Amino acid sequence: MSLHLRDVEVDGTRTDVCVVDGHVARVGRGRCGHPPGAHPTEVEGRGGALIPGLHDHHLHVLALTAAWSSVDCGPGLEALRGAPGSGWVRGVNAEASVDRHALDRLVPDRPVRVQHRSGGLWMLNSAALRLVAHVLDDTDDVERDEGGVPTGRLWRYDARLRPALPAVSPELGEVGRRLARLGLTGVTDATPDLDESAISLLGTLPQRLLLLGDPAGVGPRKLLLRDHDLPDYNALAATVEASHSKGRPLAVHCVTRESLLLTLAVLDDVGALPGDRIEHAAICPAETARWIAGLGVAVVTQPDFLRSRGSSYIRDLPAEDVGDLYPYAGLREHGVRVAASSDAPFGEVDPWRVIATAADRPIGSHENVPARTALDGYLSEPLDPGGPPRRVAPGAPADMILLDVPLATALRAPDRGVVRSTWIAGKAV
């Protein structure tokens, strides 16, 4: 596949770009010098910016795929009534936590499972509970009433619930095209403990892929700290040591203040490994920034939660926690590598919306960063979130997006509509 992109803006200069065999071959005006017999695709850039493709450093591909075909309960659980089709009803993005009786009143004749917007809680009606009874264990993750009957609320139960659910095999080609239309040419899937079938399925996604949940993968491995049941210090230290001894860094899920401080204390004692990262740092006291920087640990944050969940944070969290939500500028000022991400489907997948919020936060405006800084996070290498941004340069993979406007114009009001074309390894997606 050969491309000749004419009159595109690269690093602020209008020029031409040649692509051969999936890599950038030349940046500069003039003929491309394609191999004999090649018939390059000609693209007129009209001065639009050509930049590397964006990489979302934290999302959940299969959950996002399922969410796009589920009932959105964000406006309310009433949306479950009259769900199309037959059989199971799957709801997502629920704000309220309800039991089986509440769901029975809404949908009494079909099995229903609804995911709380946090992603950590499933809520089932009575019909669904009957179908999954054989996989319910005796742990506290299965909430029960005083009589020992399951209430329908299941905590962190995805893997244990899956064998009791109808088998599905989603086609990820269209998912990849939807992501490409946003300018995403790569993603880091942050789902923990992926099995072989999930890993194989994810491999059909056209985007470049880093899997934190692959037991035998490269890069960090996801470590999910259960916020309502944190491990003790020694147990966490042993887990970190075991992973580090194999040369595998960790990506540690830290949503609460307690989980973050516990993780930093363990890393301070055991020692951090290059590539270790904190996922979320949702509540991150300002005084921890120097600590994180000293450890050399990166932070993958989700600033758009401040827009989509801001009112709930203000209502539900102590004032001191609201002031410490999803820091960005403060971490960078202390030298911490920070990259924004979506956590889709639990957050907004659109990177341009995330970039806009990072630059104009509805909560904690002192943590705003320039839109270019947030974009650079999306342009950083998958194994170095928050590190130097990738560039369109000779020898680089031709994972690129062409915008309709110059980059400075696009960043004044970030919007997905500026993405005109997306290529992965020189192939249009």
How confident is the prediction for the chain on average, in pLDDT? Answer: 95
Report which DSSP code applies to 324.
T
pLDDT of residue 118: 86
pLDDT of residue 69: 86
pLDDT of residue 206: 97
CA 101 – CA 112 distance, rounded (Å): 12
Residue 35 pLDDT > 80, yes or no? no
Report which DSSP code applies to 302.
-
Residue 238: φ, ψ to 5°: -65, -40
Residue 365 pLDDT > 90, yes or no? yes
Residue 48: φ, ψ to 5°: -70, 150
Please name the helix (run of DSSP H) or strand (run of DSSP E) that holds residue 424, with its range, or none: strand 419-424
Strand partners, 358: none
pLDDT band of residue 226 (cuts 50, 70, 90) is confident
pLDDT of residue 416: 98
pLDDT of residue 332: 98
Q: Which residue has the higher pLDDT, 238 or 33?
A: 238
CA 386 – CA 330 distance, rounded (Å): 14
CA 102 – CA 125 distance, rounded (Å): 8
| Tens digits of residue pLDDT in 44-67 | 999 999 999 999 999 999 999 988
pLDDT of residue 323: 92
Encoding tokens for residue 298? 């990166």
Task: Set out the domains of the chain in order of their start, with CATH numbers.
Answer: 1-53+390-429 (2.30.40.10), 70-164 (3.10.310.70), 219-389 (3.20.20.140)
Q: Percent of the chain, pLDDT > 70?
A: 98
DSSP code string of 18-38: EEETTEEEEESSS---PPTT-
Q: Can you give the length of the chain in residues?
A: 429
Could you tell me the pTM of the whole model? 0.89
Give the mean pLDDT of 236-244.
98
Burial status of residue 193 (CB atoms within 10 A of its CB: 0-12, 13-18, 19 or more): middle
Residue 32 pLDDT > 90, yes or no? no
Residue 167 pLDDT > 90, yes or no? no
Residue with tokens 């130097």: 388
Give the mean pLDDT of 199-221.
96
Give the mean pLDDT of 272-284.
98
Contact 10, 29 (CB under 8 A): no
Give the mean pLDDT of 408-414.
98
Burial status of residue 213 (CB atoms within 10 A of its CB: 0-12, 13-18, 19 or more): buried
CA 310 – CA 323 distance, rounded (Å): 12
Contact 47, 7 (CB under 8 A): yes
Report which DSSP code applies to 151.
E
What sign results for the dihedral spanned by CA atoms 342, 346, 348, 349? positive
DSSP code string of 40-79: PEEEE-TT-BEEEPEEEEEE-HHHHHHHTTSEE-TT-GGG
Give the mean pLDDT of 301-330.
95
Report which DSSP code applies to 134.
G
pLDDT of residue 37: 67
Give the mean pLDDT of 233-242.
97
Contact 279, 251 (CB under 8 A): yes
Residue with tokens 């709380």: 116
What sign results for the dihedral spanned by CA atoms 348, 351, 352, 357? positive
Burial status of residue 104 (CB atoms within 10 A of its CB: 0-12, 13-18, 19 or more): middle
pLDDT of residue 6: 96
Give the mean pLDDT of 300-319.
95
Give the mean pLDDT of 165-178.
88
Encoding tokens for residue 87? 């059989």
Residue 235: φ, ψ to 5°: -65, -40
pLDDT of residue 34: 64
- Least Cα distance to 408 among 15, 51, 27, 63 occurs for 51
Q: Which residue has the higher pLDDT, 169 or 418?
A: 418
Contact 339, 57 (CB under 8 A): yes
Encoding tokens for residue 181? 């239309």
| Tens digits of residue pLDDT in 253-273 | 999 999 999 999 999 999 999
Residue with tokens 């998912």: 175
